[in-house]
Structure 1
């Protein structure tokens, strides 16, 4: 089982065929994107074989999400060209989450073969059960109702070495607090739009949503880093603390 940290720090090990299979695309598409400069070049190993890593997978996922948003290839090229060149796979995954967050809900009914193709891997019965528990997949007879926007995230969580109970508890915490944040933010903006026409309100919402999501993600990342630093620092401070003197 691969941890999240290992996933983002491992050396490139995928061949172009393996990369295409993991990304749910074709080798021809990967090569086309490479010639367009949308993907960084692979690491050339023994026998002149190119090796790809998590950054390439994350970029392919971001490109796919931008296509779902209706962007043309030229627009995607401009979009990716504006990103910092040193973005890690982790940063790209977060960036894709932001892009997906203002897409309309996309629930599709798929058969098992198509579900596994979209997931980029074979799924065991236990995997399906976990995806159902996370509300990423729903059973519909012999088919599956799939939230396309959450599928890749759900599939990644299958490899995170924590219990299903912990994942569900984390999901509940995030839902509870995100709803509270959404309610309070709506109160802040309500006064700004109370006298405007319905179309103006929808337009303002469409412009504000990605900005608010990006702000929430940034604030959450910073808060989480601070929590982790404090968490990791506690054992060090305990080890350094002098023993109390008797008497």
Structure 2
């Protein structure tokens, strides 16, 4: 009796790799690795925020560079960047930028970022404000960048407490919007300059030198203190500049 069968045939899928031997991921695997949905990942790719995937037949694969770029996008989101601000930020970073550069960018963002913002309900925002807020009040707080709408909820931004106080000043909202825009313009320039200093004078030299785990831990702690000192310096510098403007106006 003859048989014509194949016993114990096992097919094994081989993880595809790029030219450097790094594992390539499908869009589903990339989304899972970065904590994003597949839809969001594809949306960012469609906006040109990610390099084109590597095509192998009908399959599209993503490598470490795509993951590093998505990790940077997540860091920007945690920092409070809107989508348009993220697009503007990433437009300054070439799509072919190496992973190391993207990691440095993320490290610098993390060093200036406070704790991650929670999305609050309207009632929670009112509790934080210590008062009832009308629809008009909420719109005003959004316009003066005290709040940001996030789906059906809100995220409280750094100027929230000051923004709430403006509700009782009976001053046209447009004046606060213009002031916020002016602050935003100059803060963007200041942040760019401070980030360049941080990257060129501190982060890059540290990355290029050998260091122990203990030294790396101290370096991370130093960043936290550096952030506090920098913010204090920005406030003190603004107060000094404002006093000089007032003095000049009184003496003229």
Which has more helix, going by share of residues? 1
